[in-house]
A and B are shown apart, each in its own frame.
Chain A
């Protein structure tokens, strides 16, 4: 078992006092970020990214990915205790988590949430351990047409699997591509879309977009709702934990289902949020207590949390093996790779063994450490939320501004951050999805490069994307997903006619 050996090598990389310390810091920071409104996995990591420029890449990614795990855990705390989802993927957790807290079963709900998060993440990490190297090895043979077809599939699946208007998804995504095109054309060196404005030569950095869209936009939304935090208190002690753990095995089937949904939605860029809703919905339909969902069922907490963590974790699989992130947070981590001087993509598994396996090993350890930390420190983290919004909001805006500035040491970026904040606010209210926009902004240049190289090779013939079985079938799948809203509409009409 080559993977097992590699994994143990990874553990030896991670198990240094410095890396373990970073891991702890990362998780605690992550939970805090997950608990606070306006700071989440994606923009929290984006803000902290510039501080890791001088660290060795392996230590940096360990810390940043642990922030991600921490944020995934933290989202559950606010959902259960305050009925406020700290993260979009924990919305579904509020449905049964908050009623449980109202009945005085907050400890049970939190233990259930954390444990199932852990299970979901663990299953996804095991999958990554064995599947990612295979995918990477396979992808080593990819040329530009194949890579473009995978990008194409990624973006089409946003259109096909999105809930809202496909045209809005398309518009938001293309806005991301357009913003990515601003500045220097990487292939010819010509300046594009800067309209003679030299400051725009740098282009739009997606980190700025992430900080603005998810940070400032979120603050504006919370302010509009006039948030008043009134939470339930939680006591978690060993007795509650053990009693809850005794109950959990009876939901094994729900867990397995949620893991599958989560892993699938994470690899295809559905992301953690739809995965948690889907898993909750499926559990509700399949469970024998289905009609009681929403009144405080432990199963209703287990299902979304397992799926959210499985999806959040498996989003790293395509990022590591193909260089295509499955979620905005994975996209930020990918941006980190570029900044640390690593080239994302299948070669990573060949050239940067320490880095890749160190990261995978840290996923195992990080999730175990995370589970212990959240189980023991819940009251501490919940106390953060009791700090009034009028103190937290300005501090978060200051932190966002600092984060935006440090990306390129550019004042203009802070203005762009504010602009993206307004865009995020409007997009959220009009149901324009932000994830495809961020991913397009990250991948835009490379998608274009592969596209141009591919048609350059074929001298302008677009049929190069159907020139062999592999690229042809990926493109065909992409097209099906792109037109899925149309196709499913037609199927529904045909059924209606009979």
Chain B
């Protein structure tokens, strides 16, 4: 993924489809290589008791390599290769998309540190203020309400413990 932040400019391409095709095909190729290599290391041959652990994944890796090479060649030299007109994502769209993805990543980090309940309340409230332009009071109230209802549903009702985070700010509740 291209993670760079772009200056405003809707309609202008951030990445062309062709570039993205090539990047993804290369990722597939390296992944296939890793799978095949590691399976070969494990043993992709025939042992006394039958095929070894790497036998099946080795060929899986090979197929990934072959099919991604074809996709790569098609992207490089195929009919559409010459034109850079097909836009994978426009700058404005990319910004929109990242405005969800980046906070979501921080949210997951938040779950790891301060637990899912606090992180969710903060995340919902921030999302509403930032992207929805709601008043702070409304946003915080809804975030808290959502978190409390998840807490009641999972910890109390279903007795399914959810992550409390490394620092466990809600530890005083005894759950």
Contact = CB atoms under 8 A, between A and B. Distances in A.
Interface string A397-427: 1100110011001010011001001100110
Interface string B28-71: 10011001001100100010011111111100110110011011
B96 A224 contact: yes
Contact of A220 (B101, B120, B134): B101
Interface residues of A, number: 56
B117 to A, nearest CB: 10
A395 B108 CA distance: 14
Contacts of A422: 1, 101
Interface string A261-305: 000000000000000000000000000000000000000000000
Contact of B111 (A406, A409, A411, A455): A411
Interface in A362-405: 388, 390-391, 393-395, 397-398, 401-402, 405
Contacts of B168: none
B81 interface: no
A403 B20 CA distance: 30
B98 to A, nearest CB: 9
A390 B146 contact: no
Contacts of A220: 97, 100-101
B122 to A, nearest CB: 10
A425 B94 CA distance: 12
Contacts of A415: 108
Given A224-B96, A391-B132, A455-B50, A168 B150 contact: no
B150 A178 contact: no
Contacts, number: 166
A488 B13 CA distance: 36
Contact of B123 (A174, A394, A402): A394
A401 to B, nearest CB: 6
B96 A223 contact: yes
- Between B1, B61, B104, B132, the greatest number of chain A beta carbons within 10 A of the residue's beta carbon is seen for B104
A128 interface: no
A456 interface: yes
Contact of B162 (A397, A405, A455, A456): A405
A170 B63 contact: yes
A224 B90 CA distance: 9
Given A395-B124, A455-B50, A402 B35 contact: no
A50 interface: yes
B163 A405 contact: yes
B24 interface: yes
Contacts of A429: 17, 20, 88-89
Contacts of B99: 223
B54 A390 contact: no
- Between B1, B31, B94, B100, the greatest number of chain A beta carbons within 10 A of the residue's beta carbon is seen for B100
Given A185-B53, A456-B50, A456-B51, A390 B131 contact: yes
B108 A178 contact: no
A219 to B, nearest CB: 6
Given A188-B52, A429-B89, A452-B51, A178 B57 contact: yes
A284 to B, nearest CB: 28
Interface string A304-321: 000000000000000000
Nearest to A388: B132
Contact of A426 (B1, B96, B105, B112): B1
A460 B46 contact: yes
- Between A171, A219, A225, A388, the greatest number of chain B beta carbons within 10 A of the residue's beta carbon is seen for A171
- Between A391, A455, A460, the greatest number of chain B beta carbons within 10 A of the residue's beta carbon is seen for A391
A430 B20 contact: yes
Given A391-B132, A452-B56, A414 B71 contact: no
A366 B133 CA distance: 41
B142 interface: yes
Contact of B71 (A165, A178, A401): A165
Interface string A111-146: 000000000000000000000000000000000000
A167 interface: yes
A171 B67 CA distance: 6
Contacts of A391: 124, 128, 132, 134, 142
B150 A398 contact: yes
- Between B21, B56, B74, the greatest number of chain A beta carbons within 10 A of the residue's beta carbon is seen for B56
A364 to B, nearest CB: 29
A331 B88 CA distance: 30
A448 interface: yes
18 contacts: A51-B158, A167-B74, A171-B68, A174-B64, A187-B50, A188-B52, A190-B53, A192-B53, A224-B94, A224-B97, A394-B124, A397-B107, A405-B111, A405-B116, A406-B160, A411-B111, A418-B105, A432-B24
Given A188-B53, A393-B131, A397-B107, 8 more contacts: A177-B60, A192-B42, A193-B35, A394-B123, A394-B124, A397-B100, A414-B111, A418-B104
Q: Which are the 7 A-B pairs with shortest beta-carbon distances?
A: A390-B132, A456-B50, A394-B127, A170-B67, A167-B67, A181-B57, A185-B53
